[in-house]
Amino acid sequence: MQLVGRFDSGAAKKVHHGAEDMETLADGRAFITSGFQWPLSSKHFKQLYKDQGRKGKVLLFDFNKPESGVTELAMDPQFDGENFHPHGISVLQDPDSGKIFLFIVNHPEGKDTVEKFEFIQEKLALEHIETFSDSTFRVLNDVAATSENSFYVTNYVHSKSSSLSFIEIILLLPWGSVVYYDGANYNVVADSLVIPNGILLSKDKRYVYLANNFFASISIFERDEDDRLTILQEFPIHSYPDNLSLEPKTGNLLIGSIPVVYMMIKHMEAPDVDMAPSKVLYINMDNATTVGEITDLYTNDGRQISGCSSATIYDNKMLMGSVVDRLVYCDVRTWE
């Protein structure tokens, strides 16, 4: 395996502070969010973030040119980059114009938002298009774009206070939800959820996959004509899932996950002190709603990558990201 970046690296073009979420286009370009910090972060974590000069950014990795490493995309000067703390990401490419749009969950001071950017290839830059904010937004986690002007977004918890949200998490209170923005209105389309995390559309966009973080399972929902979600099934994966991605050619699922949740909690309190193990699962979907074989694609005690939150595959190569640690690039030979 080749190490692309690490938490304490100061080298140019390295990943300095996590690769929390990522999404890969059909041509092999992967967009990655880095610089995670949110309202639930501990005081120690926030101080570490400040002391080490971390910042929110979006990175680009090309599977066709892995030797180039990652490139930090230039941020629109009209956008408040100093108050940019990116989390979940969804990337959408217009099949006719070829334009690429990024929807990113952001945690600026005081409120959570979804930011929409257009990727400007010739400048390797992001042009800010719109900020989405609404009273239905609580503590956001991930986003799944359904069109250039609509998306699903998960409310991980309801309580914005770190102490109250901790109680909500420990008691597994069903106060999480999924909100849908249809281009005009925001509506809660699934509620009474327990700590909903990553969200992803199936390849045909008829179904929604949702990571149930503290229940160590994945839910499959069907979308109706009003974009509301009806649960079809929930299946256990015996690891605590964070973000989901699709293998572009097959529609199979790839899941970044945490095998031991209490170690991840300690890691998020003090990432400079405590490690957390990592696991990546590959799930064959016989069709969009039928779960087939589940492969334990990668497991590590945290020394190579701590607290894996996301993974993506392209042409038998894999990127693994973490909430606040590093980014790893490796070969995948499981099905060769």
Query: What confidence tens digit (pLDDT) does each residue in 83-128 have?
Result: 999 999 999 999 999 999 999 999 998 899 999 999 999 999 999 9
The answer, yes or no, to whether residue 275 has pLDDT greater than 90, is yes
CA 277 to chain centre: 18
The answer, yes or no, to whether residue 5 has pLDDT greater than 50, is no
Confidence of residue 334 (pLDDT cuts 50, 70, 90): low
Q: Which residues, in sequence order, are CB contacts of 246 under 8 Å at separation 6+?
A: 200, 202, 203, 252, 253, 254
Residue 61 placed within a domain = yes
Residue 186 placed within a domain = yes
Residue 169 placed within a domain = yes
Instruction: Give 49: exposed, middle or buried? Use CB within 10 Å, 0-12, 13-18, 19+.
Output: buried
Quote the number of domains for the chain. Answer: 1
Residue 287 placed within a domain = no
**How far apart, in whole angstroms, are the C-alpha atoms of residue 334 and residue 316?**
9
Residue 274 placed within a domain = no
Give the CATH number of the domain where residue 129 resides.
2.120.10.30
Domain range enclosing 176: 12-247
For the chain, the distance separating the N- and C-terminal CA atoms, rounded to the nearest angstrom, is 17
Residue 114 placed within a domain = yes
Residue 252 placed within a domain = no
Residue 112 placed within a domain = yes
